[in-house]
Structure 1
Amino acid sequence: MMSRLRKLNRRQAALLAAAAVLCGAVAGGALTGHLGFALTVLGVFQAGVVAGLLLLARRLTTLLAVQRAAQRDVRHVLDQTQRRLLGAVEEMLLAAGDRHRELTDTLAAQQKAAANGTDRLLRAQTGEVEALVQLFQGFTPRAPMPPSGGFALNPTDLLDLLQLIRTRKPKLVLELGSGTSTVWIAYALEKVGGRLVSLDHDPAYAEKTRAALAAHGLVEVAEVRDAPLRPVLLDGRSFPWYDMDALADLREVDLLLIDGPPEKTGPDARYPAMRVLEDRLADAATVVFDDAHRQDERVALRKWVETIEGLTEEGEAPGRHAVLSYRRMVRQLTPQGQ
């Protein structure tokens, strides 16, 4: 009991003391015969109790209203949070769906491209095999042939080149860049009675090609000349190109094969070819330009056709090379006074 009394605050202790005093007054008045006083004090006590109860009820009502307001606020916050959460989840699901569709479409496109690429590769490989078979059907090599493809002309380009030699029968062929094609061209020229001069800037590679020509017994038909790259000035630019001394004795070239210098020697490496060699071509000549699908070569080809009179492209070639026809334009001089 005493421990509970010690836990009362000042207000509770004061109310308890006042109640005790009133109770004491009522009891004292009743014992001393002052019933009116006792009843008055008792009435005051009851009125105080009623007032306290009313005050307590009011405070409870206020607390209940505050609690309900807090509950409404909490419910509102929860509703807003739930809506935002659901909206975020729905947005994430929509974004995930869109991303899934994008990935699915991309994957389908890549699979289709891969299938098309594989199909093109198979067709290209089939075409190269067919061209290689036709090459060996047309010639019987006297020694193992060097490999084609890679840096060398591939079988499709070789087959088209040899067909040009068979049909046009050039007397002099100039090849820029020696290799596998040198041996094949020499075999074709052996049949039609022509001669081949091949230039190479790499002495080791030139010697390798000479050894191949010797192994096939073609040294009477073809020769490989060392032609180191020297600066040549064209259109205000310097290009590394074959040493002109290697060409000093060459005139009336019927067929020019441009397969060098290599791309790694510098930008627009093959552009000088027609600008330098036009005067050494026959009046009617054929130009075969390898790797014409590359950007630098496309630009060079366009400039040649636009600036060199009598040079025209013969149409689409079956491989990666371009075939051009050159016809020298001879101008008639008009006598003075006419």
Structure 2
Amino acid sequence: MPKRNDLTVREGDTLTPGGFVRTLAQKPIISVFLGGDGREKDTVLLLGLVSREVRGVRSPFVYEASKNGMRDHIEVADLTAAFAVDPGTSVLVIGPVQGVKDDGSFVQRTGESDKAVILKPRDLDVLPQGSLFLAGRLPGWAKEHMTDRGIAFEEILSRDDFAFYNAVPTAEGAVYLAIGNTDFTLFGSNVAVLGFGRTGIVMARTLQGLGARVTVVARNPGARSGAWALGYATMDFGAFTTNPSRFDVIFNTVPALVITAEVIDRLRKDCLIIDLASSPGGTDFEAAAKRGLKALLAPGLPAKFAPKTASKILAMVIADAVAKNWPHLAPDLDRIGGELL
């Protein structure tokens, strides 16, 4: 059976020798995609085969599918309409990987005259009990509202599997940025990796493989000892703040202000900062600009530098999250995922 690699799936497709065919009436799920950054293609394909209908609110790939004539993929203008379903139907909401902000806004496909769509409590009121909401991050008010209404949710950015899978294209994208913004090789350079969590672990390993002299900076003694056991030099943030001038490139993964104005004043002027933490990052960018240092805020690198890989990663993690929350779908998702991914 050939693997699917485009948005041309139709009702009645048979995906296994034994025949995996469901009529629309046998699919009691509506999938709704909110916005997106371009890595949702495989997830749209995957969920399209277990959903009676796929709806998109400013979603680039649902919009593309609807324009390509897929009758069960519909672009919807507002969230209330997107979440409204017949009794007995469950709704699976896929929010953007970057998450929904506190004000309800999210990354979305917009035209020049489009006003941004904002998620509000009244939209969540339309979701039936037993629905599932998946997104990178969700604001506290939304989580409280869904808990009160019996709607399950999960924040994808909190998952270890998603973080480790994405750490690989993140590290490769960060290396690309470093090479493109310096006039020296990473080989033999003194580089600092701030933070030794999931992204920091892969970032340090990637840089070490290129021959860089890697120092891991971490608050936690356990993280520092783990980095030491893997062959990296280590220091805590106190030592880093006092003496950061030895570094040619700094890769930050800590989502808190750690590259302060004090640190920036002590860096060499040719030092490059690549901040991989979620916006607003962990760098005082204003202080860096005043000093003439090049500091790049670079979140979301997987979708920018490896969109095909990022798309498959998201689909795998979404499929696992759906299967754990709705176990009755696990066999179907495994079977279809083997064909698509």
Please classify the TM superposition score into its range, dividing by the shorter chain length.
0.3 to 0.5
Point out the structure with the larger helix share.
Answer: 1
Larger CA Rg, structure 1 vs 2 = 1
User: Scaled by the length of structure 1, what TM-score is found?
Assistant: 0.36
TM-score normalised over the length of structure 2? 0.36
Higher relative contact order (CA 8 A, sep 6+): 2
